Structure formats: structure tokens, C-alpha cells
Structure 1
């Protein structure tokens, strides 16, 4: 079962991370500052309270009367101060109240056994702490928003570079091997994005070298085989008539066709092919060419359209699609022209899943029921010629795999989408694979 996923950009991930870290730091610092400020103010208030009490004690020693709000043997004296007084020590005490305003006590034992104490509420601390908390909250919010803005700025730059790299890599995947991801990323400051771009460029160069080497080997082998195969075919023509002679000629001709197909694939892979464009009526052209190839095929022109394309390459595509339908599909085979779209459909078992998923591949015919006939070059050549025309060639099945078609509803469908404008470079559009 596929897990649900939430797609977010790098910009917002970095912004959220910086904002979260900023919020945690701001909260931690605010708590530390709040507690430190409160402890410091209470310590100061206790010192001030004790100094006032000592001054009042000196006045009491002279006048024998409590002054400055002091009291003798105050019954409200906290228990902790009673303990200190019994020990003969002067002390201060902060008592928390329900109102939130702390009471500050100071007491000192006298020589006659009485206790002189001073009690007052530290109301200024509440106001000061509220002002301090307000300032801390404003500062914390400012830090969070500032961090978020910084994250958007940094993440936006990184996201922009990654998008450029992805776009350049996509163009490379479409066959434009001259694109360099490192040049597309650019920038003055170098980071991991540049390392990724260099790695992609190195991978592209290595793959291009490997593909080019494979293409050259294939082309060289096919080219070297052409001369002996032609000689073999010529020699077969000189053999006396008979069944063995027919078999030799048939196999020699099949080998010659294979060599020519391999050479054509090599030329298409080299991206050196260019279309020779002409203005043609697509429906009329398809009717005429398909009628020559196989008069039994049903042709339907829904809507005529004039296109600027290469007739020779278009005929090659149609021929390969019809040959594939004849070899691996089932009758009837139908060709439909609608505007710039040409559909070729048979009523056989359909395309194999590997072809629908990955596209046509040389020397691979797919399922076992389609194996044993051909070399997988027909659709590969058709796809390569479509790229030269700047067209799209898609493959799908009329019914999903494993479901038998009813009343002729099954079969394979190949669709050629010709471009509205003439191609300016080889392979203007990639081959698309549609789901079955």
C-alpha cells in the first residue's frame, strides 16, 4: 500500500527549521532572563529591606519605640524567621501571595528577647516583570519572523539552483547532451549543488561515451557485414531452383534486412539525422501509402490536416507500425487520421507491459507470445524517426493487461502525434509512454 506523502519545497523546509530553532532559542533565553531578573530584584529588595530595618533598630535603641513601620513581636512573622530569631540571627524572607505580589520580610532579634521586624509588599516587581515579559515576547516574535525571512531567502536561493539543475538534467534526458548542468546552476558561491551538478555532468559524459562507443561498434559491425551479406545474397541468386535455394535466399534476405535496420538505428542514435520537410495533406498521404502497403487495412480520415513533415520518414514510421501489427497483433488492423494525429490499432494481445513502461528497445520483443518473430528494431526505428520529425509516438493497450477484450475491444494502439510547427532540431519531443 502506497503511503501518503506531503510534498514541500526546500525553501519552506529551511524556513521552518530556522524559525523553529529561533523560537526554541528565544523561549530558552526569555525564561533565563525572566528568572534571573526576578531573582536579582528580590535579592535587591531583601537587602534594601534589611538596611531599613537596621536603621530602624538604631532609632529604637535610642527612643525605645518602633519607627519606619517596624513592629515588635509581630504575630504574622513567618515561621522560618521565628527559627532564625531563636538562633539569634538577623534574616530576610520573601513570602509568595495569591495576588502575585511578594511580601518582603526583615527581622532582627533585640537584646531584651523581643523581635523587631519590617514587612512590606514589593509591588514594583510585578510591574517591572510585566514590562520585561512584554519586551521578551516582542523580541522572541521578532526573532522567529526574522529567522523565517532568512530561511525563505536562503532556501529560495538553494531551491532556485536545484530547479535549474533539474531542468537542465531533464533536457539532457531528452537527448540534448550539449546542456551542462553546472553551467545552468551558475552562481558565485559554491556549495553542494555545484558538486551535484558536476556529478551529473560527469555521469552524462560517461554515458554519452558509452553510448557512442556502443553505437560505433554496432555501426561498424553492421557495415562490415553488409558486403559479405550482399555477396551471399548475390551468390544465392546463382543457385539452381529448388527448396534449399529458396531457404538460403530467404535467410540471406532476412540477414540483409537486419543489417540495414541496425545501421539505421545507429544513424538515429547518433542524432545526426535531419528531416527534409514538405507540406502534405496528412489524411490523403496516409490513405495512399497504407493502401500500397496493405490494401486490406481499414483507413478512416476523421479530419484532414496539412502538416509540414518528411514524407519518407513518415512512411517509414507507418510501415514499421503496420508491420508490427501484422506480426504481433490480430486482425482487423485500423488506421485513423484525425488532424495531426495518426492512430494504428490491431486487435491482438496488446503491447507487453515492459514496452508500455520503458518504451521500445532494440532486440527485445517483450512477452513470450510475441517472441520469436523480429528483433525489436521496428518500433525502435519508428520511435527514432518520430524524434527526427519532432513528433511523439505513444503506446497503449485498449484493455488492461490480463483482461480479455470482448467484442473486439482489445488490442494494441500506437499513436503518432505530429507537431504543429516544423522541428528545428532532432528530437524536439521525447517519446511518451501512456499507461495501459
Structure 2
């Protein structure tokens, strides 16, 4: 099983902080290595020159028969074996090694026979200098990384805060709040006249915010135009339909008259549905709350629908709701189940949750995934009209949650969950 990382580890701020830290560490390590190598080479070079110079002086004294000074000796026991072999072979060389627990720069050269003349120079001060330099590099690198991380985190946090604001506005727009806007100050145009302070130049986040605001404005304009068109069409249709209904009532009895009256009634129902949708789209519907027992209310809604629907009350509950709107939701769900599904149709009340189940082919996939869409048909099948759209809109006004799904053994299931105090 793959280990799961915490959610915060995937945020942009954490990723940016990790990237900044890695880059700073890499840069500090590179600069530290370069400085360490440069200073070490210089320090070792100076100590080597000093040791070779003393070896040259010791060689001159040895050849002149003068006694050797302190620090110079023939085949000293502390002389590293590699350096002694090099001197016996006729070459001069240097090497840093410990002598009595202290770092020492050795220089050795050939003497008579298979003996080596060696000089020891104390290397403790140079070693302390290099060690102090390394500590200074580590401390300065740590301070530089910390300061860079703080500054970078501050800068990234400002960007992520603006991104979170943009994402929050996008979620509000997707939930239906088309008045939501980011209003990033960087998206404002440059002011005119030039005596006023110009706006700050745009960056990528501001460009995204401006695009989101532009999209929301365009979408809001189109939806408002659609709502006005729907309302205007419905209002314009009411007058001729009223006259057509009155004229149909004057026709002589017969099959043609029944067909005309049936179609006129369907048109009147469609017009009323369009008017109801236009009112729901405005978002200005007001609730008339009252306390109702959910079981009897569901039974009244089923009787009003006039269909053979079985009502099962598993657990009744008292809810504070708008009776007329709730009956409208339940009536539309039951009517849709009979119109587009197959019997038996069962309405179940289980506390504040009401389900309407039929045993037909189930809801289309698009409806389960995205909710009801007005007049949509798919694959040449009959669409679901406006009933489910109205039910969903009225459920939102009630503060309830309406979910559409398909039962595993077949059939459509609409679940209405009411809010309970």
C-alpha cells in the first residue's frame, strides 16, 4: 500500500518553499565547496612553500656539515612512510600528517645513501583557520537559507492568497452566485489623466482573475437575457392561451374537441412552468414557513398528483417548511416517476429524508451527473421537461438537498433531504 501524504504537502506554498530550500541548499553547498577549496589550496600552498624552503636550508646545512636546526632530522620515526619512500627514490615531496597529535606539514628529500632528510612545520594554525572557515560557511549558509526562505514564503503566500481568493470566487460562481467577482486591484486599467496614481502592472494571477471576472460577467449577462426571454415568452403566451382555452370550451363535444382541449391544457401547464422557472431564476422567492408533519404532507401531495403511488412512512418527523413548495417538489417527483418510469412507484418517508423510487430504466447518465437540464433529450428518447428542474429549484429555495440516482437493481431514485433544526 502506497503511503499517503498529508493534504497540506500538495499546496503551492509548500512546494515553493521546498523548491526554494533545495535551490538555496544547492547554491550554498556549491559556493561553500568553492570557497573551501580555494582557501584550502591557498593555505596548503603557503605551508608547502614554507616547508620546502626550510628543507632547502636544512639540505644546505647538512651538505656543509653543520648541525641541523630544530624541526629537521634524518629519517625521523614520525615521517610518513610514503613520503620517506619518495625521498629515498631521489624526489622531494610534502605531506600533511599528525605528529604527536598535532597536524604537521612534512617536507622530505634525498640524503646520502638510502636515508631521507625531513623537515616538520607546525600546521595547527592553518588547520584551525580552515576549520573556522568551514564553520563560518555553514552558519552563513544557514542564515542565508533561512532569510531567503522567509522572504520567498512571504512572496509565495501573497500569490497563493490571491489564488485562493480567485478559487473561492470561482466556487461561488459555480454554485450560482453570478454577482461574485475577484476585483483584483492589479486588473484595474491605468488611470487617466496621468496626474493620478497609475494601477500596478498586471501579473499572471491578475490575468486569471480578470479572465474569471470577464467570464462571470458574460455568463451573468447571457443568463439574465435567457431569464428575461423565458419570462417574456411565458407572459406573452398567457393571453392568447386564455382566449384559446375559452374558445376550446365552446367547441361541440367530440374527439377532436378533447384533443384540442388536451393540447391547450398542456400549453397552459407549460406556460405556468416557464413562469415558475423565471421566478426561481430571479432568486427572490420568499418562504412561508409553518410546522408540518412530513408523513401526512407526503400523502396529500400523492393524492393531489392523482397517481397510484404507494406511501411508506418509516419514521415520521415534524419539519418547519413551506407546505406549498414542498408539495410541489414531491408532486413533480411522483409525476416524473409515473411519466418516465414504470410501476410500482414508492414514496418513502424516513425522518427528514423522502425518496421517490420507480422501477423503470432509471435516470439518464447526464441527469445523474449534472442534474436536470431544461428540455434536454439524449439519443432520441423523450426528455424530462421542466418538472425536475422546478423540483430542484424549489428544493433549493426550501434549503433542502435533492439528489438523483439509479438503484443497483434498476429504477430511478430521487432523494430529498430536508433541513431539520
Shorter-normalised TM-score: what interval?
0.7 to 0.9
Match of 1:263 in 2: 275
Contact 1:49/1:104 (8 A) holds in 2: yes
**Partner residue in 2 for 1:307:** 319
Cα distance in 2, alignment partners of residues 366 and 299 from structure 1: 31
* Structure 1 unaligned spans of 5+: 84-91, 110-115, 400-404, 422-436
What's the secondary structure of 2:343's corresponding residue?
Answer: coil
Give the alignment of 1:15-414 within 5 angstroms.
15-53=17-55, 64=66, 66-70=68-72, 76=84, 78=86, 93-95=93-95, 103-105=105-107, 119-120=119-120, 123-124=123-124, 125-144=126-145, 147-182=148-183, 192-294=204-306, 296-366=308-378, 368=380, 371-372=381-382, 376-399=385-408, 405=409, 410-414=410-414
Give the drift of 1:244: 2.0
**How far apart, in 2, do the equivalents of 1:333 and 1:93 lie?**
102
SS at match of 2:287: coil
List per-residue Cα deviations over 1:195-247 (Å, max 9, x = no partner): 43332222111110111111112222222222222222222222222222222
Q: CA–CA distance in 2 between the matches of 1:54 and 1:5?
A: 66
Looking at structure 1, the residues matched to 57 and 283 of structure 2 have their Cα atoms a distance apart, in angstroms, of 102
How many residues in Structure 1 have an aligned counterpart in Structure 2?
392
For 1:223 and 1:180, locate their aligned partners in 2 and report how far apart those are by CA, in whole Å. Answer: 32
The residue that corresponds to 1:86 in the other structure is none
- What does the per-residue CA deviation read over 1:25-84, in whole Å, with 9 as the maximum and x for residues that have no partner? 11101211111121111121133235545665786798755545557999948479957x
TM-score with structure 2 setting the length? 0.79
Aligned to 2:15: 13
- CA shift, 1:292, in A, is 3.2
CA–CA distance in structure 1, aligned partners of residues 296 and 287 of structure 2 = 20
Instruction: Give the aligned CA root-mean-square deviation in angstroms.
Output: 3.8
Matches of 2:173 and 2:314, distance apart in 1: 37
The answer (yes or no) to whether the contact 2:75–2:118 under 8 Å persists in 1 is: no
**SS across alignment from 2:308:** coil
Deviates further, 60-69 or 324-333: 60-69
CA distance in structure 1 between the aligned counterparts of 2:29 and 2:373, rounded to whole angstroms: 61
